[in-house]
Chains A and B, each alone.
Chain A
């Protein structure tokens, strides 16, 4: 693509300003996480005080634990379910596939708050019905069952629900690229269809699965709005803890959390990029032979 002349001084300046706008707040946040004082604007000297405080804050650590647990579980379940769903959709007749794909995209297209609210409404209504049923059973038959309420389980279900669509959409293109004759060939050579699936289809679409898994994990870790509506009063993800903290006062503990998260993301990004570069190099070598 050739848009003509190279960018001039003005456009370089504009680009630089936009990047300053994007990064200045983040760098300020990081710098003041090392502040000795209790302020985000006056420098009192270097200290790791707030990191120590952070690791002793049970609310924050609980939030980190919940976030990691729900993200890992939801990612694992959504990756497996999404892979099977994508393969199923791909092998369906068009008449069935297209409406199902549209439904699949509902959680991606809807505003987060609408997805969150609708799930909240659904859980509350379903649990109200169930709890009413339990009460009725207790009164008439003296049988009892646990009453249900919003909590970790509903949070997990919500995360799985909004993760699967991304996994499906990441895998679909890989399925389309796959040579359909491969499956038939494998079966002709004596594979059962289960073997054909594990030995042919899964390796072919593996990059799509990994991609979908990464997207699902980042979506889960990053989510605030849907979690906020489905986690109930007793469970809190890290994002929810941060939200409730910012309602009160600005505290450098949040800066320390941000710095650690930013570092983690940066590390992950570097690892992924290095891995990608290495794969490309290897692929180039193979081609040269």
Chain B
């Protein structure tokens, strides 16, 4: 019986070989293949990545910032939620997951119309006089810097032979704040889209903490701050790691968010890959090499996560 049943998976094994394993192998082969008309094995594709060091750096920087902000918001939120009553928690969890069932393009699009130059936020700022206030502050800073330039800095420059000058050309005639098509907007988009990925694993670890450990710590005289620092936080680290991975990986590989909120002029890694396959710079060899790097990043993240224990099931729930 058992052996007969194991043949049930034969079709899927063939399917996996064709559509999961073969494509990955193909990416590896392409990554080490010279761009035609040249032929044969080469490492050129990887060496060429040096040209895109800026893109790598920007991608990592933005993804790390977004992950960090998600952690700053997600950890306290999970902790506070775990303190609430059970029905509150249930509703809160549904509310956190609900936006994720809306397509992420729509969620990103929502921010486009909010951040636009004549969008919702700017109109609100204008109505509240915040933009005028900004102009006023900038004007004040300009005159302050001008007087500093003439006074202290002129004196210093004369003494030290330097040419220090403070900028005096801050805009004082703004009618809107430029928010859309900036890197800040891209980070905001990442945080907004992937925050639930941070909250859910952390929350599910905190909620499963062993009560007796906390009681033991309190009985032994630890203050609540100390219980948090010495017991709760260390024990919730697996959730944190899994949350960090689940936010970092999609953030570092996104291309739609950077196109929609970043304007598509400052490329991220995802944009770079997309360009090599569907864009004008058609070069699947280079694209495969970058994809291979991405795969290595993911494997490293997974390895680190698994070393520190659980958190795997969470990915399935989503």
Residues of chain A having any CB pair with chain B under 8 Å: 1-7, 11-12, 14-15, 18-19, 21-23, 25-26, 28-29, 32, 40-42, 81-82, 84-93, 96, 100, 103-104, 106-115, 117-122, 124-125, 157-158, 160-161, 164, 166, 168-170, 183-184, 187, 193, 196-197, 215, 218, 221-222, 224-225, 228-229, 238-239, 242-243, 246-247, 250, 254, 257-258, 261-262, 265-266, 269, 273
Tell me whether B123 and A229 are in contact (CB under 8 A): no
Q: Hey, what's the 0/1 contact readout for B201-226 against A, CB within 8 Å counting as 1?
A: 00000111101001100100000100
Partner of B250, one of A15, A100, A112, A184: A112
Tell me whether B208 and A1 are in contact (CB under 8 A): yes
> Given the complex, which residues of B lie within 8 Å of A250, measured CB to CB?
109, 112-113, 116
Q: In this complex, which of A29, A40, A114, A265 has the most chain B Cβ atoms within 10 angstroms of its Cβ?
A: A114
CB of B34 closer than 8 Å to a CB of A: no
| Interface residues of chain B: helix, strand, loop or mixed (majority) | helix
Partner of A106, one of B9, B24, B277: B24
Partner of B7, one of A11, A88, A122, A187: A88
Tell me whether B94 and A110 are in contact (CB under 8 A): no
Tell me whether A7 and B84 are in contact (CB under 8 A): yes
Q: Would you list which residues of chain B between 83 and 138 have a CB under 8 Å from chain A?
A: 83-84, 92, 94-96, 98-99, 101-114, 116, 118-120, 122-123
> Given the complex, which residues of A lie within 8 Å of B302, measured CB to CB?
109
Could you tell me the distance in whole angstroms from the C-beta of A245 to the nearest C-beta in chain B? 9
Tell me whether B3 and A222 are in contact (CB under 8 A): no
Tell me whether A254 and B9 are in contact (CB under 8 A): no
> Given the complex, which residues of A lie within 8 Å of B259, measured CB to CB?
247
Could you tell me the distance in whole angstroms from the C-beta of B35 to the nearest C-beta in chain A? 14
Interchain CA distance A84-B103 in the complex, whole Å: 30
CB of B315 closer than 8 Å to a CB of A: yes
CB of B6 closer than 8 Å to a CB of A: yes
> Given the complex, which residues of B lie within 8 Å of A257, measured CB to CB?
106
12 cross-chain CB contacts under 8 A: A3-B79, A14-B80, A15-B80, A22-B96, A40-B119, A41-B113, A41-B116, A91-B3, A121-B23, A161-B15, A193-B4, A242-B105
Residues of chain B having any CB pair with chain A under 8 Å: 1-13, 15-16, 19-24, 26-27, 30, 73, 76-77, 79-84, 92, 94-96, 98-99, 101-114, 116, 118-120, 122-123, 192, 195, 206-209, 211, 214-215, 218, 224, 227, 232, 249-250, 252-256, 259-260, 270, 273-274, 277-278, 284, 287-288, 291, 294-295, 298, 302, 315-316
Interchain CA distance A18-B291 in the complex, whole Å: 34
Are A224 and B103 CB-contacts (below 8 A) given A7-B83, A81-B15? yes
Interchain CA distance A92-B270 in the complex, whole Å: 38
> Given the complex, which residues of B lie within 8 Å of A265, measured CB to CB?
98, 101-102
Are A103 and B80 CB-contacts (below 8 A) given A25-B110, A26-B110? no
Partner of B103, one of A122, A166, A228, A242: A242
Tell me whether A108 and B315 are in contact (CB under 8 A): yes
Interchain CA distance A178-B254 in the complex, whole Å: 41
